[in-house]
Structure 1
Amino acid sequence: MATTAANTQREMIGCEEYNLYSSLSEDELIKMAIQQSLEEDPAGQSAAQSHQKSVVTGPGEAAAPSRTSSHNPPYQIYPWQRLAAQTRGHAHSSSSGAAWGVRRRYDGSLFSTPQPIELDPVVAAIKDGDEKAVCNMMKSGKDLSEPNKDGWIPLHEAAYYGQVGCLSLLQKAYPGTIDQRTLNEETALYLATSRGNLDCLLTLLQAGAEPDISNKARETPLYKACERKNAEAARLLVQYNADTNHRCNRGWTALHEAVSRNDLEIIDILVKGGAKIESTNSYGITSLFVAAESGQLDALRYLAKCGADINTQASDKASALYEACKNGHVRIVEFLLSQGADANKANKDGLLPLHIAAKKGICEIVSMLIPVTSRTRVKRSGISPLHLAAERNNDDTLEELIDAGYDVNTTLSQERSCLYEDRRTTPLYFAVFNNNIYATELLLEAGANPNVDLINPLLISIRHGCLKTMKLLLDHGANINAYISSHPTTFPATIMFSMKYLSVLKYLLDLGCDAISCFECQYGNGPHPALNYRRDRLSDPQQSKQPTVIQFCDMVSAPEMSRWAGPIIDVLLDYVGNVQLCSRLKEHIDSYEDWAVIKEKAEPPRPLAHLCRIKVRSLVGRNRIKLIDTLPLPDRLIRYLQHDYTQ
């Protein structure tokens, strides 16, 4: 495990996770790379590993970039991606110019070797700014225009280290190399810009360096200046006619980059230098969209003042307002609406900004959107923001939408309902499915109908075993004898769902659930057909052939229910009069010796007192049975009618 962790760390330091080290100096970064080649500490872990662990697991770990994130992370670590990787005056550098094994690949990444390496004397001289040594090398006939194996020539090194004197000497001696590229296709001008070496940048531009040569990612020096937030470098490049509308390999322009960093000075330089504010990247996203999505209010104000389209939409039809709502940028939403942003532009999925705000549960944004969102457009979308608020348990948002008058009985369109296996349609179903008692009560108090969905929410509350939700639903008219039309049974689905919870079954029967239907078998004492019951998932209400109607005796005889059959029948018999057990039920009861008493209990005639209780309960009626304790009857009789056997 320790070896794997060490290998992973080397890969991360050497390649992609450079954004984790943006706060370190060049010397610190080089030290970290050098330490990888040192032996492990007494705990079996190198110092570099220890540092890496603290960085990777810390709270500042970078999130995955969104579709509008910049082409590169904010601070790409070029300073430590060098061949001449030794610290100034560091103990690990020898007097002979050797440095412990830190090498650079052609793509700029570092790797370590166990043996010290000899530094190139040309690079060492340039790094130290020793112009005399450079001149002497040229006079001795040494060709300082030859690239190394990584494609770097001394001119690149001078631009990188900011040694303008050496740079001028090399440029004048080899004028044809001014735009020569490394294997990573980086010019000296690009390297000088990346490092912020303005003197070198100006010298190269004055010498005729082409400002628009890009690297492998099609990033130009101007793009890099924006990424580094270096306004002076951007100004120089624009003055020397750098293309302000050049796109990187993902369509990202310098203006996109500057806006993503909210750098008004650079934005102003670019716009005045000819940058098109409506340029889009590969996702159809403009700079204003970037400002809205990333929450850059100052940049947004500037672009709006310049006439940028406030209703710009990406390729997936998401508007800038939609993205601002999605990311919870309250002030951005407020500004966009004040500038006339259309809250009724839907994305490709038909969702409006109000939908995404309700889904995210951002009440302040929901409040701003409710007055400007068309109820007709919401209805046309096939989904209400109530559905999304209920689905995500955003109770405050749900309450605000209810108070605003959104219909609690609105249903999902068929297309959206089909996305759910259980074919749910109402906000109430979402609340009950999430076992959210507060949201359930909110919706019911606002008039939600508990009997709309294909699968009654009461059945879901039974599956959860939540008596409080059951009571709420039943108090507001939920059908205690609910069936599922796509999976028909001869007895209520409420009984089917509660079979394994005898206390819940008894609770439902006490409130008038239909028990007699469980004993109405079409075969009676005659022979039953062989069991061929396959328990289908509750998934397809549009079945191609007529589904088989399941009888109670078939259900309790199924392997997964057979061991519960006796107790279930015993409870049901308390709520029926004289009934006839069918031959299958008798056969099943006979297979368990302990259940003989149940068979005797079912034999007619039933006790007169019991028959009277059944008669009184039927006369009271299912709608009033839960209020039986308010009837002017003796307490003992009331308890008897309620099947309360405690005396």
Structure 2
Amino acid sequence: MEEAAIGDAALFHSEQRLQQAARVNDTATIRELIWGKVNINARNSMNRTALHWAAMAGHERAASLLLDHHALVDAEDKFGMTPVLLAASHGNLSTLQTLAKAGATLTARNRLGQTLLHCAAVQGHPSVIRYVVEDLEGIPVDDPDQNGKTPLLLAAESGHSDVLSLLCELGCDLQAVDKESNSALHLATRRGHAELLSFLTSAICSDAQNQDGLAPLHLASQAGHLSCVRTLLDSQCQINALSSRRQSALHVAVERRQPPIVELLLRANINLHLQDQQGHTALDRAVRSQHAALADMIIKAERFHARSLGANGQTGELDLTLRHVGDLSRVRSVLWALATRHQKPGDWKKLALHWDFSAKHIQALENQWTGSDSYKEHGYRMLLIWLHGISSLGKHPIKELYEGLVEIGSTDLAEKVRRQANAEQEPARRCVLM
């Protein structure tokens, strides 16, 4: 029993040495082990033989030596990968050619139903693809795998522009879709491969929906791929397209909490009034998710567009920042003091109504409950949104605030604002209107 165990251990050790030698192209050790009657087709825990490792590493001499001594050319590992599939996957063209001459089955498929072309496309090996298409037979360029993905779709999903270009040159079907109706444009967008989109949008409909009813713009907004959103918008995709849930890209970006995407869509003039299948607008979604910053961005955009309509579209482009406000820190200090120290509950709503905040906007601001003093936060948010609008019109915020307070009958508060603003301003720069 003990001798048998020692023998088994020695045999296992020899098989391990053979596989390691194949990995590093150590043909001397391979010959030594072959002379010692090692099992040349011994497998490891992944069901791989020495020939698998030689093919994967691109060691032509080791592969040839193993083949000369009857290594199984079509042995499959646990993933259904034969040596020739591994050579294609790792871009080892010369080793692949050696295996082909040795009689390897060139139409082999792995467990995912992928051929040589699929394996090379996933990993980005154009030289292998050109060889397979131009020099071999029986491997269609548009053959789908088990998920319905053609080599083109896998190249787009993996972001390999050189492979994508080559497959198009070789006559692949650019309109192919997988089992979930994803086109190459869907797959590239979902993975964030913005560099592929300009090419793909010139050949594939950018508004086509997959089986979930999502267009590429929805997927880019969902995943937060800002550069993809920008590229799709530049290609004139339908910005207001709705998914099967009747969600716009803005709904999706709000739902996934993607502020940069939301801002980009707002600046691109997406329709803010579109309702999903529950009848909710993007603002409703932002409010329900308690995402105050997104809600405030949408309110700013709605007020901006309302001003544009009132001024026949002459208010310029939407800018959600406060960069137009001069001495911003002083102005914010005045607004903060007004909202948190001087106003009583409900006072901020009077100002909001005076400044044409809609009932829906006021309700959205009130939705964020932080305790009995929530009205202070609500008031401050409202004032900052108002400040955004005033600054975009080039008006003096302190002067407008003073006049607004006077007009709603809060003269005492107006005087407090004037005194604080002047106290925080250098004497030489005091506003003469105050």
Shorter-chain TM-score tier: 0.5 to 0.7
Are 1:241 and 2:103 matched, yes or no?
yes
Paired residues of 2:214 and 2:243 also in contact (CA < 8 A): no
Match of 1:229 among 81, 91, 95: 91
**Once superposed, what is the RMSD of the aligned Cα atoms?**
4.7
Are 1:434 and 2:292 matched, yes or no?
yes
The residue number in structure 1 matching 2:213 is: 350
Match of 1:477 among 335, 357, 374: 357
Paired residues of 2:190 and 2:220 also in contact (CA < 8 A): yes
Counterparts in 2 of 1:474 and 1:225: CA distance versus 1, 3 Å:
farther
Paired residues of 1:159 and 1:188 also in contact (CA < 8 A): yes
Match of 1:201 among 63, 68, 73: 63
Match of 1:446 among 279, 284, 305: 305
2 CA distance for matches of 1:174 and 1:505? 82
| Counterpart AA for 1:322 | H
Post-superposition offset of 1:351: 1.3
Counterparts in 2 of 1:402 and 1:290: CA distance versus 1, 3 Å:
same
1 CA distance for matches of 2:215 and 2:42? 51
Q: Secondary structure at the match of 2:11?
A: coil
The residue number in structure 1 matching 2:252 is: 388
Post-superposition offset of 1:314: 3.0
Q: Secondary structure at the match of 2:118?
A: helix
Deviations 1:294-353 (A, max 9, x none): 211001111122222223333333322112122222221111122x11222223321110
Post-superposition offset of 1:265: 1.6
Match of 1:335 among 199, 202, 221: 199
2 CA distance for matches of 1:211 and 1:358? 47
Counterparts in 2 of 1:642 and 1:223: CA distance versus 1, 3 Å:
same
| Counterpart AA for 1:294 | S
The residue number in structure 2 matching 1:267 is: 129
Paired residues of 2:113 and 2:146 also in contact (CA < 8 A): yes
Deviations 1:171-211 (A, max 9, x none): 68969x55454564333422432444322312333455432
If each structure's helix is expressed as a fraction of its own residues, which one has the higher value? 2
Paired residues of 1:151 and 1:183 also in contact (CA < 8 A): no
Post-superposition offset of 1:397: 4.4
Post-superposition offset of 1:426: 2.7
Match of 1:325 among 175, 179, 189: 189
1 CA distance for matches of 2:370 and 2:405? 23
2 CA distance for matches of 1:317 and 1:334? 20
What is the identity percentage for the equivalent residue pairs of Structure 1 and Structure 2? 22
Are 1:501 and 2:398 matched, yes or no?
no
Deviations 1:53-77 (A, max 9, x none): xxxxxxxxxxxxxxxxxxxxxxxxx
| Counterpart AA for 2:218 | H
TM value normalised by structure 2? 0.63
The residue number in structure 2 matching 1:290 is: 154
2 CA distance for matches of 1:476 and 1:433? 23
Counterparts in 2 of 1:356 and 1:366: CA distance versus 1, 3 Å:
farther
1 CA distance for matches of 2:160 and 2:361? 56
1 CA distance for matches of 2:20 and 2:370? 78
Paired residues of 2:117 and 2:141 also in contact (CA < 8 A): yes
1 CA distance for matches of 2:259 and 2:17? 65
Are 1:186 and 2:48 matched, yes or no?
yes
| Counterpart AA for 1:475 | W
Q: Secondary structure at the match of 1:435?
A: helix
The residue number in structure 2 matching 1:304 is: 168
Structure 1: gaps spanning 5 or more residues: 1-142, 418-423, 449-465, 485-492, 509-625, 632-636
Counterparts in 2 of 1:236 and 1:399: CA distance versus 1, 3 Å:
same
Counterparts in 2 of 1:472 and 1:201: CA distance versus 1, 3 Å:
farther
| Counterpart AA for 1:235 | Q
Counterparts in 2 of 1:399 and 1:319: CA distance versus 1, 3 Å:
same
The residue number in structure 1 matching 2:313 is: none
Are 1:425 and 2:202 matched, yes or no?
no
1 CA distance for matches of 2:192 and 2:116? 26
Structure 2: gaps spanning 5 or more residues: 1-6, 308-337, 341-347, 381-402, 417-434
Paired residues of 1:363 and 1:397 also in contact (CA < 8 A): no
Matches within 5 A, 1:243-258: 243-258=105-120
Deviations 1:89-137 (A, max 9, x none): xxxxxxxxxxxxxxxxxxxxxxxxxxxxxxxxxxxxxxxxxxxxxxxxx
Paired residues of 1:411 and 1:427 also in contact (CA < 8 A): no
Counterparts in 2 of 1:475 and 1:252: CA distance versus 1, 3 Å:
farther
Counterparts in 2 of 1:444 and 1:506: CA distance versus 1, 3 Å:
closer
Paired residues of 1:222 and 1:244 also in contact (CA < 8 A): yes
Paired residues of 2:121 and 2:129 also in contact (CA < 8 A): yes
Post-superposition offset of 1:504: 4.1
2 CA distance for matches of 1:199 and 1:385? 55
| Counterpart AA for 2:63 | L
2 CA distance for matches of 1:157 and 1:393? 49
Q: Secondary structure at the match of 1:152?
A: helix
TM value normalised by structure 1? 0.44
